[in-house]
Amino acid sequence: MCTEIGKIQRQIHDESMEESDTPLKKKLDEFGNRLTSAIGIVCLVVWAINYKYFLSWDVEDGWPSYFRYSFEKCTYYFKIAVLLLLLLAYLLVQGKWHKRTQIVRKLPSMETLGSTTMICSDKTGTSTTNQMSVSEFFTLGGKTTACRVFGVEGTTYDPKDGLIMDWNCYNMDATLILILKYVQSAMMLGSSVMVVTRVFKATGLPTEAALKGAVESLLECSTHVQLADRSTAPIDESCRQLLLSRLLEMSLKGLRCLGLAYKDDLGFVGVVGLRDPPREEVHKAVNDCRRAGIKIMVITGDNKSTAEAVCREFSCFLMETDEVVAMTGDGVNDAPALKLVVIGIAMGNTGTKVAKEAYDMVDNFSTIVSAVAEGRAIYNNMKAFIRYMISSNVGEVISIVLTAVLGIPECLILVQLLWVNLVTDGPPATALGFNPVDVDIMQKPPRKSNDALINSWVFFRYMVIGSYVGIATVGIFIVWYT
């Protein structure tokens, strides 16, 4: 656990032990508690109304029978139906997503993505292809007051294709030859090169120590810089500022800059600019997210100025401001953030195993938009289903209470209630849970995290509808009975 990988594993484990409920689960629990309280009151009312039959021999079992009667009729179906339909909706959407190469490990994460207000995306490998190619590099000239900038002719060079081994050292100055030797050594790993603590020993070449990394860090450690004729000069403040200004120019072009240094005391050689092209589908996905009211944050550590503006701990800050945060990433260092946020999305093709173990979904950035739409549809269908079930079940409860108050026989026995719930109410409610995605669903802003699943006005409306159904049912029964 003392290694960096061990620390990441510990963070993932700690977050796994402290997983919080999804927004939908919190709302369902809150609604269920309110519903349970209301049902409990109704049960007590029905039970109290029938107190005169508790010790009557006219009714078998007396008070236990009426208590069971009131409890079973009021509580046995509603919550089970909600959970069952929610599971069916999750499974249906999961099948759709699987066809689009979206893999869901935790079913509630599908709905959670629909309530996402902000997506924090790792840059390298998530917003970009992570297929870096050399686009530009620069070294110092004959003096420390001038830089030489070299561009790659034609298309950018992909270091994986091996063509760099065909570079010709003729007509090159000493600095370019040194850069070539370093790259050649790095490309020849496993053949004639041995690597021990960044020391490359190649056939026919002297043993030299080479180092690459962030330019700012290398400049802090380097004592001198190599010039075009392979002579060296100490790095003074003017030279440092010249190199940093060229670094800024390359960074503004969207290049990932790596500094090169060698030998004892680190002699600075030059800077290579790598272009990591963005994914073609990301631009449209970002525009779709903006139209849907979802903010996009790109989190990267490639450049110091960028890292000062946004950092990987920003996800925690957003959650503290009641944002529903989704984090996308592909690397080992993204795993703790994927585990910490409300929903983590690991990138399917380029994601590391550690990132995928911490995820809620495996996806690519472009299809996140369609997943958000499906998540919003799940929530809307759930509200429609609950509203329908409220009006139906309230009607049943009202009929039970009225028959108890009026002292008339049961108008609906348990078998009839079961038939109504399973045959009459079940199929329509299930169909409401499978409604397709609305055409304009991505034109609306995401719902707030504190929005109620069923607000007071909606609950009152459906209570009125349910009361009308219950009163009509009892009235028709009285007419038939008399």
For residues 403 and 475, the answer to whether their CB atoms sit within 8 Å is no
Token pair, residue 206, equals 């002297």
User: SS3 of 300, please?
Assistant: coil
Distance CA 286, CA 294 (A): 9
- Cα 431 from Cα 414, distance rounded (Å): 25
> Is 264 annotated in the active site?
no
The C-alpha angle with vertex 112 and arms to 18 and 315, in degrees rounded to 5, equals 60
- Beta strand pairing call for 255-262 and 208-213: antiparallel
Q: C-alpha angle with apex 19: 374 to 366, nearest 5 degrees?
A: 30
What the block records as the tokens of 376 is 């919003």
Residue 410 carries which DSSP code? P
List the alpha helices (DSSP H) in 172-269.
Answer: 174-187, 215-221, 237-252
Q: List 122's β-bridge partners, or say none.
A: 299
At residue 314, the 3 state secondary structure works out as helix
Count other Cβ atoms within 10 Å, centred on residue 152: 14
Which of 14, 61, 122, 438 is an active site residue? Answer: 122
- Catalytic positions: 122
